[in-house]
A and B are shown apart, each in its own frame.
Chain A
Amino acid sequence: MPFQSPPDVEIIAAFPEVLSLELLDSGGFKIAYKAKIGSDIEVFKLVRLPAPGPTDEELAYRAEAIGRIRREVELLGRCNVPELVKLGTLHPRIASIGGTEYVGYSEEYLAGPDLWHLLRSGGKPREDEARELFRALVHAIMELWKHRMIHRDIKPKNVISLVNPSRRFVLLDLGIAYSLLDTGLTRDAHIVPGTLRYLAPEMLKPGFRQSLDYRADLYAAGLTVFEYSAQIHPLARSRADMIETLSRIATQAPKLLQSERPDFSVGFCRLVDQTLKKKPVLRPANLERILAQLEND
């Protein structure tokens, strides 16, 4: 449930670099605004921090929240591909607003709808657009993997569609990205971060962090491309409950893209379908080869 945002004037008072705010989106603990920061239009993100309570549990919860923002910002600072959102000018800072602590920071503003909204507006994409989306996501996954990171939340809602032909799709939100090189941030090892409908099957297994790699992102990228192309999710049903969705992820065969988009080439459909295999080893791990296939097929 979205939290109640503080009044704009109080936010601006706490972050004087921010000159104006326009609400874009809000989640359980984070709000995004289109903001004027200095002379630029950027996305200002305001994350509510848990109160620094007296127990170890409360302290750890707060440390996790701060750690995630720090990781996201550090990672975005290291990544340098157009397929990933870039940092803005406002670096993360903790500020108290109305007695509650928040972290505020900014990212570049991308003027376009996310794919989730596009999916709901109808109109199926052409194959070249779907290919371009896949190419962009593979590039983003490659860049993250260079830093031994897994995004873990690739889904239509986190992909922005732009009109810029040299930058058609951009992946957002590294808030729950997982680093193979750092200590995990999720306190409870049994918690599986991510959006249920886009979770790779291996993430449902106990101790999945031991063997997790970028193929989990490749799976979610394949799902996103499928859903964008066919306007339906290949596995989930809109009215299914959590258990049914989990069961489908673990055991059910996904729909085949060719059956939903017979106008698409067989090679492209097969490539997308192959990324949706339950076993990671059956997903094509050679990302360079995927890019070549997208280019040449």
Chain B
Amino acid sequence: MKLFAQHGFSDGLKTVEGLSKQLLDGVIFSPRDITPEKLRESALKFAESSPISERLFDPQYYATLAAVDPLSRTGYLEEEYSSYFAPRRYDQLLRESQVIEDVRKVLECETALPLTALIGPNIIIARSFDSAEAAIATNFVRATGAEGKKIAPEKRIYATLAVSRDALINTEELLRFLNQLTVLETPPDGFYVLVAAGNAEARADLFNADVIAGWMFLNHALSVNGFLVINGYSDILTPFLGAAGAEAGATGWWSNLRTFSLDRFSPPIGGGRTPTERYLSCALLNRITYYELDILRRRVPTVLNRLGSDDFYAGDGSQPPRNKEVLQTWDAIKALNQALVSGEEEESLRRCARAIQTAVDTYALISLQAVALDSKSGDSHLEEIDGALRLFNRLAELDFV
């Protein structure tokens, strides 16, 4: 399973380092945060660091609906990507001709960039799969397949499929929607799947059994039907999505590159403080703060991944370099992908279940040491992931076996 950098503002040398250390298989650019000129320059550097790496571009078209607000934070999109990005209203997108035209413009813009595969535009299905939004989204997928084959027949074409967590948990509607999506006459080669939380800090939005199971099922159903699936912003859930059939996942260095939310494009609502550096522990399937790691590394050594990136977190409890935090994340997720995702789906799911049990056991050891963890570092995610696996097995009819 592949892991991509979810690119964003202030990359520095993070992605180059991730690629050259072979922690990453590619990058998904964010036009909100990079000009086309800089993107070309970066792509060249990335190709030098890892010639076989993939370079994709999330057109972030879904933000066109937020762009009608003059205070929206669309970054470079409106100025630098004006060939396709302009404020849109739903009523404009009810016209299929508009959808086709917009898809064409996005794909033409992407063909002018040094990308290895193209991602079509889409809006977010925010409320329900049984809605005008979902019908518009289906038209975008159909148009991406059809236009992609005309504009760049030599490249793989992915359609964006962006859904809110609220839409995803209605299983009946999800099934009806997927029923249509999987028999389109002009399908793309794959999907770039985004699951939107209310905001990037709303961890419980996505760490919910129904949401994770729905996300896994989406990957499974698309993959059974022959589509490649790249999950944006999938972060720690990446290996679980891989076990369900995903081709790739992605994560980045800021919290808004680890969790997808339209909040990133909305008017600002006041500043926040810089978060504490964290360490992603494979054994815990979670991040803990660097100072929690420092306490635990001696008392419960299994929290350590024993990977090269552990060196960034010195044994003396000092703060690790902030720009190395994401390298540790990529290293850990890559290791989890390798450990949990096998060629056989049933085996992968068994490994995922074992990983959850290992995490439960490790948290039990921490508890015996009377170490108090902060709320984000705790074990509340495990019950949700465990519930998600059971629910997914039922949805995918694997519990029959």
Contact = CB atoms under 8 A, between A and B. Distances in A.
B182 A285 contact: yes
Interface string A268-295: 0000001001111111111001000000
10 contacts: A253-B397, A253-B400, A256-B401, A279-B397, A281-B224, A281-B225, A282-B221, A284-B225, A286-B226, A289-B226
Nearest to B174: A281
B224 A278 contact: no
B342 to A, nearest CB: 14
B400 A281 contact: no
B225 A280 contact: no
A296 interface: no
Nearest to A210: B176
B226 A284 contact: yes
Contacts of A254: 400
Contacts of B183: 213-215, 285
Contacts of A183: none
A254 to B, nearest CB: 8
A238 interface: no
Contacts of B182: 281, 285
A211 interface: yes
B179 A211 contact: yes
A211 B224 contact: no
Contacts of A253: 397, 400-401
Interface of A: 211, 213-215, 253-254, 256, 274, 277-286, 289
Interface string B218-232: 001100111000000
Given A282-B224, A286-B225, A289-B226, A277 B401 contact: no
A282 B171 CA distance: 14
Contacts of A285: 182-183, 225-226
Contacts of A214: 183
Contacts of B179: 211, 213, 280-281
Contact of A278 (B220, B225, B397): B397
Contacts of A286: 225-226
Contacts of B221: 281-282
Nearest to A211: B179
Given A282-B396, A285-B226, A286-B226, 13 more contacts: A211-B179, A213-B183, A215-B183, A253-B397, A253-B401, A278-B397, A280-B179, A282-B221, A282-B397, A284-B224, A284-B226, A285-B225, A286-B225
A283 B224 CA distance: 7
Interface in B170-228: 175-176, 178-179, 182-183, 220-221, 224-226
B346 to A, nearest CB: 10
A155 B383 CA distance: 45
A281 B226 contact: no
Interface string B366-401: 000000000000000000000000000000110011
B225 A279 contact: no
Nearest to A215: B183
Contacts of B220: 282
A211 B401 CA distance: 27
A283 B226 CA distance: 10
Contacts of B401: 253, 256
A258 to B, nearest CB: 11
A215 B183 CA distance: 9
Contacts of A211: 176, 179
A132 B220 CA distance: 27
B62 to A, nearest CB: 24
A215 B220 CA distance: 17
B355 to A, nearest CB: 24
A213 B180 CA distance: 10
Given A211-B176, A280-B179, A281-B178, A274 B224 contact: yes
A283 B183 CA distance: 11
B181 to A, nearest CB: 8
Contacts of A282: 220-221, 224, 396-397
A176 B225 CA distance: 27
Nearest to B184: A285
Contacts of B178: 281
